[in-house]
Chain A
Amino acid sequence: MNFRFGIALVVITFFLAGCASQPQNPVNLSQDAVSAKSGRIGVAMTALPKLDTQLPGADCLLCIAAASAMNSSLIDYSRKLSYEDLSTLKNQMAEKLRSNGSDVVLIEGNLDVNALQNFSSEKPNFARKDFSSLKKKYNIDRLLVIDITALGFIRTYASYVPTSDPKAQLQGVGYIVNLSNNSYDWYQQVSITKSSDQNWDEPPKFPGLSNAYYQAIEIGKDSFLLPFSSKTPIATLSTPSALAVNVVQTQNPVQ
């Protein structure tokens, strides 16, 4: 019995360890990556995510059904929101780089990172996709990518019961890949949540949450652009309070 239990424990541990992947820690912007002498830098964005309402914590099937029914009008409304000018963030990013003296190539269309081959490295701060093929394709030395992964609203649940009011959210990541070795010259997660300033439950147009949504977009754009607004790394900047809590910085910068 004990032997079987031990085997089962080893197998479970093996599978759980296999599922867990090391999260990428932030990498402060390397000034060498965006200087006039750093070669050509491409700027690209991935496709914007579908606008939606996320209900994390409502995990069982019936919980999901109940939470979806409870928030049906908000879910429908979130899918009708506008991206505003979010798709032009790469243009703004390119403009910032040019003002810093960089030689910039704006990559049209959406970059499909998932279509790239996997890249494995024992060292930290290397991209998990192999971006090297883009070096020749776009004639660039580095690639800046803006990847917005979630946009809309979020409301946390504990099974059937909501544990928070809905909030607007923008989740994403920005990074620069050195195409000579596939390492990160910059890696920053952006996680914005904004609550309604008053009551949130105002169907059908949810003005409070709509306002929070557009605030999240603006703060998100600011968060991506902030490291390029100055040659000082973001960790040492005195950020506006609206941004300070939202830019994820959890590790010492890579030197």
Chain B
Amino acid sequence: MSHFIKLLVIASVVGMFATQIAAADDAPQIATIVRLPKVDEIHADDSKWCLKLPHDTHLIYRGVVGFDEAGLGRGAMLYPAPGFVGFLAAIATHGLIIESAKNAEKIKMQDGADKVLLPYKVVLDKFDYRELMRRTSEKVSHGMTLIEDAEKTGGKLLIESVPVFSLTQDQTAIILDNAIVIHRPDDTTATVYQKVIRVISTATKETDLATFWTASDGEKIKDKSAQLVAESLEISFNDLTDSKTDDIPYKTIRYQEGATEKMERAQLLSTHCGRMLIRNLRGALMSVPASHPDQIDRCDSNIAHVYLNTDIAGQ
């Protein structure tokens, strides 16, 4: 009897293992957030920066999706057990089928959310990484040059930026998730900073949103995207040299994502002009519109950081 129980335990472990393997294969690739040691000799304000242009210049725009309703529910399963091997195979097969169904469900939800971008497809298909970064370089206060070859930095700090944009389902706001890596000037293989920075634009009050964003060959959506990237880079420059925030308590902070109120467990680092800079539990920085902007400073705060000098207020 005890031998039978051992076999069952082994079978369940095999089932779990199969599930984990399937999950690992299909898990979405997310940027790793690693807080690296500070480099004392680097002072962002005194440095010149260069940004490496990637070979693939395709930009990613998605529709905002939530997975709160994802999942296949509970249920009992009777496994056919012609023998021990058959029992193991049944559990493993069940695990693979369930994991495949879970992933298919998430892909379907994301595809559904991406339909919000259909009116923007013509404009966004012609908007590439080079144009985004050309626009961004004109908005960054520290000055930034664009280079093709990482070996020719000319002693400047090298930035790699992988932006992913999302449009809220109400189309009033754009969300940027920018994975930023900064390398040493003297050794471009050495990383001194690596973090994901999220910037959410303040919701626009326009009514005909597709027309608003796509007018003049998409000038508004292109310009707003570049503003968000510029702000994320400014935030990273400041965070590189000044990030002593360990003593700030975490609390649940409310902010706006388009017309929807969202919450994040985070440290409130600063406020300025109805916006907040927060650091979430993953260590990622987020610049977000406050839910109640009248309750925070009105552009006159002494603690406002310089990275908010670019105007990303609503149109």
Contacts and interface: CB of A to CB of B under 8 A. Distances in A.
B252 A63 contact: no
A69 to B, nearest CB: 8
B266 to A, nearest CB: 8
A16 B27 CA distance: 43
B98 A218 contact: no
A57 B74 contact: yes
The residue in A70, A158, A195 that gathers the most chain B C-beta atoms within 10 A of its C-beta is A158
B255 to A, nearest CB: 12
A156 B71 contact: yes
A63 B16 CA distance: 11
A211 B13 contact: no
A66 B12 contact: yes
Nearest to B15: A160
B252 A217 contact: yes
Given A207-B282, A215-B263, A241-B260, A157 B74 contact: yes
A160 B76 contact: no
Given A159-B77, A193-B68, A195-B67, A210 B281 contact: yes
**Chain B contact residues: helix, strand, loop or mixed:** mixed
Contact of A199 (B27, B79, B254, B265): B27
Interface in B237-287: 252, 254, 260-265, 280-282
A77 to B, nearest CB: 12
Contacts of A66: 9, 12-13, 15-16
B16 A160 contact: yes
A164 B252 contact: no
Nearest to B96: A161
B94 A158 contact: yes
Nearest to B259: A241
A25 B260 CA distance: 29
B39 interface: no
B36 interface: no
B62 to A, nearest CB: 13
Given A158-B94, A242-B261, A62 B75 contact: no
A214 B263 contact: yes
B73 interface: yes
A84 B91 CA distance: 40
B118 interface: no
A168 B25 CA distance: 24
A162 interface: yes
A199 B31 CA distance: 11
Contacts of B28: 198-199
Nearest to A213: B265
A161 B15 contact: yes
Contact of A162 (B19, B27, B262): B19
A165 B261 contact: no
B95 interface: yes
B70 A158 contact: no
Interface string B78-105: 0100000000000100110010001000
A198 B30 contact: yes
Interface of A: 56-57, 59, 62-63, 65-66, 69-70, 84, 156-165, 167, 193-195, 198-199, 205, 207-208, 210-211, 214-215, 217-219, 240-242, 245
The 4 residue pairs across chains A and B that have the minimum distance between CB atoms? A164-B71, A57-B74, A207-B281, A66-B12
